[in-house]
Structure 1
Amino acid sequence: MPRNDQITFGPQVCGSVSAEAGGGREWLVTDGLGGYAAGTISGLRTRRRHALLVTSGHVALTSLDLTVTLPSGVKIPLYTHEWASGAIDPAGHTHLEVFRLVDGLPRWRWRIGDVVVERELAMRHGHPSLAVTHRVVSAPGPIGLAVAAMCTWRTEGTSRRASGPALSVDPVADGVIVEGAYRLHGPGWQPAGFWHVDVHTRADGADDDLWHAGSFFQQAGPGQTVEISVWAGTLGETPPPVPAVIAAERERAHRLVTLSKAEGYGEALVLAADRFVIRTPDGPDVVAGYPGQGRWAGDTMIAYEGLFLDTGRVDEGRELLISRTRAAVGEPSGPAAPWLRHDPLDAPLWLVHAVDRHVSRTGDGALAAKLAIPLGRLLRHRLDGSGPLSLDPADGLLRLTAPPGAPGDLPAVPRVGKPVEINALWVNALAAMCELLGETGRDDAEPRARLRLARESFQARFPAPEGWLYDVIEGPATTYPLGAGAYHDDPSLRPYQLLAWSLPYAPMRGRPGGAVQAVGEALLTPLGLRTLAPSEYGYQSSPPAEPDPAYHQGAVWTWLIGPYADACAATGQPVEGLLTGLAAHLRETGVGSLGDTAEGDSPHRATGCLFSARSVAEVLRVKQRYLM
């Protein structure tokens, strides 16, 4: 596999902590269990979630602060902190010569004159474990490497202050155990035990206190290394040596790329996709995004094809679909419920779509036989009138009777009535159910009759005089800024109508694509599609306060490039060049990955989470499908 070190930054980027340079570009490494390590390429922590070990929803080791003692005896700190006062001290980033993402693993190189030191790290897949190596690349003689362990133990997104209890620290051979939760292991451990107070994280606007548990120290000459392991879980079992962990993760990256058959920047997307796939006690699952997003069913099913089918991880995907369907039909309550408040109301429709895509692309008739009946039961249960989504028997379309208010809902804008994307998904799901039932020789008369009515109603009711589709039909007039009467059909130009052409059994397939062209002219940007045309009432690129509503009032969603590409292909419009800006964006914010949203206005500054499962998955799917 070609090396992925094309993602490289020199000193003008990684040597600056500004948001436009090294302070605004972030890296991410994961352990395959939901834990991770993350930070900026400059080394400055800008979020409370930035740490070298985050496990079980807790931030553990925040940083390993490296100080070099030169042959002259001068000590040079190579780490960087920002304080509540606004001071940045020390400024170790000014010594950074280069940052590289090599096979998905971050590597820093510092230069102090003729002394060059390099750091590389990896997480051991399937274990809450970090391996870090410091290598003396060149020096006129032995130098001292002191690595201070800055620790905490708190839930993600919170702060821990010195005014509270001190961290419990238990010495062990070659290191220490912190809070009984994680262990540090390396050469020349020297205990410390005091707080660094008021460390500032600018992206959160928060202050935190870090516990200096102690330092590792070793003299090293050119070619020699200082290796540190940090792990949670079974603390009495020492993980493999650091070089073995890094080599294993590099080899795993090679296998993933080979399995996917990806080329060019598709290799980086395959490795980015792997960050979101985790293993739980119930089997494979998907983290919607980093930092701070959970395991959301809607995002998982939107991302399914790109994460599993376009990466060659078919068996894992099959296992996921079975477990998700089983859980959804069982409808458990509480934190384990599969359709949490974070999930959109259309998540079951996306599940049907994911199962259909799996069966269609793999020919897995056994999966169709296993899931067709449970999926039908799930749809009937979800549309029985007891919830906010119900079936209108008059036209066979779905009506939303209460506005979605959860963070994961597709559009967090007034949607009371019959939204276009939910009904496009509904028509697609009915057709998919007919295919799944037909695959197993079961009777499909009921869904086929529903499909006929719903498709005819969709084609008759959703086309708007403006030349595109209504965003919502039969919504209450008082909900909308325009119109009057018993109900209102909303002609706002939004991208959700793309699903009416992009889905495999889309209701507008074969119909003229003028609406797709209109969407492209008004909504397409280099990083995805705006959620509302700039000419529309209420457009907001991204206001400085309370930005969440703007995520659906004009902000760009990257994952929508997938439906747009499919809609273009379905209507005979070109798809060449659609991913050019997104390929370049792999170097701009979440290094080697893609975020979920950006501002609607140029230059489309990234907002929201910088590592998004459905964005990565949809761009990878489009690249693989259309050979971009």
Structure 2
Amino acid sequence: MQTETIEPQNWDLTVPWDKRDEAGKELLVSREWLLTNGTGGYASGSLSGVVTRRYHGFLVAALPAPLGRMVMLTQVSEEVRLAGGKVVRLAGQEYPGDPLKLDWVGTLAEFRLESGLPVWVYQVGDFVLEKKILLPHRQNTVHLTYRILEGTGSVRLRLRPFMNFRPHEEPLDRPMNRPYRVVASGDQVEIESQSESDGAEACPALRMFPAMGSGALVLDGGSFRDIFYRVEFSRGYEARGTVWTPGYFRFTLEEGQTAGLVASTEAWDTILALHPEHAFEAELERRRRLLEAATPEARQGPAAQLVLAADQFVIAPTTRIADIARAQAAGDEFRTVIAGYHWFTDWGRDTMISLEGLTLVTGRVEEAGYILRTFAQYIRDGLIPNMFPEGERDGLYHTADATLWYFHALHRYIQYSNDRRTLKILLPKLVDIFEHHLRGTRFGIRVDPADGLLTQGAEGYQLTWMDAKVGDWVVTPRRGKAVEINALWYNALRLLEQWVQDEKGDSEAQPIREQAERVRSSFNQRFWYDAGQHLYDVVDGEQGDDASLRPNQLLAFSLDHPVLEQQYWKPVFDAVRNKLLTPVGLRSLSPDAPDYRSHYDGDLRARDAAYHQGTVWTWLLGPFVDAWLRLYPHDDATAYRFLEGLIPHLKDAGVGSVSEVFDAEEPFTPRGCIAQAWSVAELLRCLIKTGYR
């Protein structure tokens, strides 16, 4: 059977803005672009060129533990000198105590994504200049290219790199106490951070060279600048940081000519192996193959952009070297999922919820198997890790649901792949998970022998997906028997029952079957809240039964094995739809609740107080659509209408991707991470499920 070929540039993702007023210019500061390199490294910034976050940089390299992700190249300032001597800036910086002047953005004529890659077009006098940025796949390298598309005569381009080698999460006010040394050999330059006396891990050198055009480095003695990071200020963090520059690269360009700058932490042999033009061609071909591998419905329009966005989260990490070695020794590959950019690492729950949308719908079935087998390496005491801290080799296990989502993800993988070999390999671990939950494991996660329901909770820990914590304050502890935990537990039991029966026979499956039947009976007796015509969020909690109206109850009948009796499906769905549905996702708490928060902003404490107390989450549209189609299996059209409000968002916030959260009231401002794995994954999965064309 022939595979349909779809050209990548099949949906217009040109960002609109009003060039006539200041509000339009401000949009260029608030909207951001993101590129990733397939190892966890990335490049990101505002469309305007202003650095607004500590995470912004043209090269944030993913380095082996304990370094983690490091900001190696913060910014490159760009100036064009015309023949008459006029100097025009293409980007600028915001300085402490100095109002931001956006005079240069008037030269920006267009910003667009081409096959997911950012492209800027500037009108500078009579010249039209195009800028592109690329991170070659699985390299800590960035390519910047500048091409004169139109214009008579020549211009001079000056590119000045700014840097402060630091972990991408490090506070901006930490002093820059590492002197830099510049080593130049011909047109190749190395910037080294001299070793510190405290024995800290040495940071690799930043290597740069002018890859195209008649470029030359001009060293002007080095200088420091303090810049203001406005988004950090709005989030309650230190917002003043220092960057350093050794000098600038100078190019002369005429129509049709291209200048290029390459910066990297790789060895010179690796850097020089790929000419910038070939690097762009290779990346475009890689992206074409991603689209060709995806299900046909995902090869066009917004779905195609989501396939490219999904690629940003699936990584072959370079940080945990020992784990990579173990996987490769077994003939496997090490894969994981970054939960969100910029600050998340790989999280177990997010990975398992996202697996179908990121890898199965997109045709990356083999990589889905890698991910599942990777996480199986980390099972401890019947749990998969909650998350891996930045730069650390070991995971943290404080989660009651990630392990149960693992069963769901494995089931979907087997449906797509029919990989019974992986199932046989994992089955002993799955049975061990079942047994650990029966007798009890860490953090109070255990089956209550009185009713068979799964309870969880430990002082100071947040174990469900509603996991906000500030200092010692757990905002939504939800200790007890949480509704979605028991829906997932029942689903896992039914899946395990079938797998054990297939592989070992009915007698081995019988104890699991009996446990599942007991859970279903107890669930329907305990969780129905008749006064509200919906489900309790938690029963047998610290304050008794919690009748808060939250979206978690959808999992009681959206999963493959519904624990909830059918008579309750419609009232539960109607309650959620009436109070929680928005055009961009579901509210995490009903507006009628006294703890409801309509906006997610301010400092960390204010944000986390709202994180799961009203704030809208896009990923919840996945269970919502699944629940709708369980009630109305032939009404795909309505299911699609629940999703279409997010299509314009692809040109907002993190352009080409989907944000983590939104405010709970109009205008539903995007917040949190600019690109979130489960937001992208569930939107893409549901678009395909609803028959989107």
Question: TM-score over 0.5 for the alignment?
Answer: yes
Q: Distance in 2 between matches of 1:247 and 1:298?
A: 36
| 2:236 matched residue in structure 1 | none
Name the aligned partner's letter for residue 320 of structure 1: I
| 2:682 matched residue in structure 1 | 618
Percentage of identical aligned residues: 34
| 1:93 matched residue in structure 2 | 105
Matched, 1:440 2:503: yes
3-state secondary structure, aligned to 1:81: coil
8 A contact 2:164–2:176 mirrored in 1: no
8 A contact 2:229–2:240 mirrored in 1: yes
8 A contact 1:177–1:184 mirrored in 2: yes
| 2:482 matched residue in structure 1 | 419
Q: Distance in 1 between matches of 2:431 and 2:20?
A: 53
Give the drift of 1:11: 5.5
Pairing partner for 2:628 from 568, 575, 592:
568
Where do 1:187-586 residues align within 5 Å?
187-205=215-233, 206-237=239-270, 238-260=272-294, 261=296, 262=298, 263-280=300-317, 281=324, 282=327, 283-329=334-380, 340=396, 344-382=399-437, 384-387=439-442, 388-402=444-458, 405-406=461-462, 409-412=465-468, 413-442=476-505, 443-465=508-530, 466-477=532-543, 488-508=544-564, 510-511=566-567, 512-542=569-599, 544-545=602-603, 546=605, 547-572=607-632, 574-586=638-650
3-state secondary structure, aligned to 2:112: strand
Structure 2 unaligned blocks of 5 or more: 1-6, 64-68, 193-203, 234-238, 318-323, 328-333, 469-475
Q: Deviations over 1:240-297 (max 9, x none)?
A: 1111111111111111111112132100100000000100335111100001111111
Q: Distance in 2 between matches of 1:162 and 1:492?
A: 46
Q: Judge which range, 22-31 or 175-184, deviates more.
A: 175-184
- How many matched pairs? 617
8 A contact 1:14–1:41 mirrored in 2: no
CA RMSD of aligned residues (A): 2.3
8 A contact 1:190–1:215 mirrored in 2: yes
Q: Distance in 1 between matches of 2:17 and 2:85?
A: 25
| 1:167 matched residue in structure 2 | 180
Q: Distance in 2 between matches of 1:494 and 1:305?
A: 24
| 1:484 matched residue in structure 2 | none
| 1:481 matched residue in structure 2 | none
Where do 1:1-80 residues align within 5 Å?
1-4=7-10, 6-10=12-16, 12=18, 21-55=27-61, 56=63, 57-80=69-92
8 A contact 1:13–1:22 mirrored in 2: no
Name the aligned partner's letter for residue 326 of structure 1: Q
Q: CA distance change for structure 1 residues 30 and 408 in 2, over 3 Å: closer, same or farther?
A: farther
Q: Distance in 2 between matches of 1:459 and 1:422?
A: 14
8 A contact 1:303–1:617 mirrored in 2: yes
Give the drift of 1:21: 1.0
Q: Distance in 2 between matches of 1:417 and 1:332?
A: 20
Q: Judge which range, 417-426 or 501-510, deviates more.
A: 501-510
Give the drift of 1:475: 1.4
| 1:482 matched residue in structure 2 | none
Give the drift of 1:403: 5.6
8 A contact 1:369–1:437 mirrored in 2: no
Q: CA distance change for structure 1 residues 406 and 84 in 2, over 3 Å: closer, same or farther?
A: farther
Give the drift of 1:404: 6.6
Q: Distance in 2 between matches of 1:90 and 1:493?
A: 45
Q: CA distance change for structure 1 residues 49 and 383 in 2, over 3 Å: closer, same or farther?
A: farther
Name the aligned partner's letter for residue 315 of structure 1: E
Give the drift of 1:358: 0.9
Q: Judge which range, 557-566 or 153-162, deviates more.
A: 153-162
8 A contact 2:400–2:456 mirrored in 1: no
Q: CA distance change for structure 1 residues 145 and 496 in 2, over 3 Å: closer, same or farther?
A: same
Q: Distance in 2 between matches of 1:161 and 1:540?
A: 33
Q: Distance in 1 between matches of 2:550 and 2:26?
A: 30
8 A contact 1:428–1:506 mirrored in 2: yes
Name the aligned partner's letter for residue 459 of structure 1: N
Q: Distance in 1 between matches of 2:678 and 2:17?
A: 32
Structure 1 unaligned blocks of 5 or more: 478-487
Give the drift of 1:458: 0.8
Q: CA distance change for structure 1 residues 229 and 23 in 2, over 3 Å: closer, same or farther?
A: same
Q: Judge which range, 170-179 or 123-132, deviates more.
A: 170-179
Give the drift of 1:166: 2.7
Give the drift of 1:122: 0.8
Q: CA distance change for structure 1 residues 15 and 120 in 2, over 3 Å: closer, same or farther?
A: farther
3-state secondary structure, aligned to 1:82: coil
Q: Distance in 2 between matches of 1:505 and 1:122?
A: 44
Give the drift of 1:145: 1.1
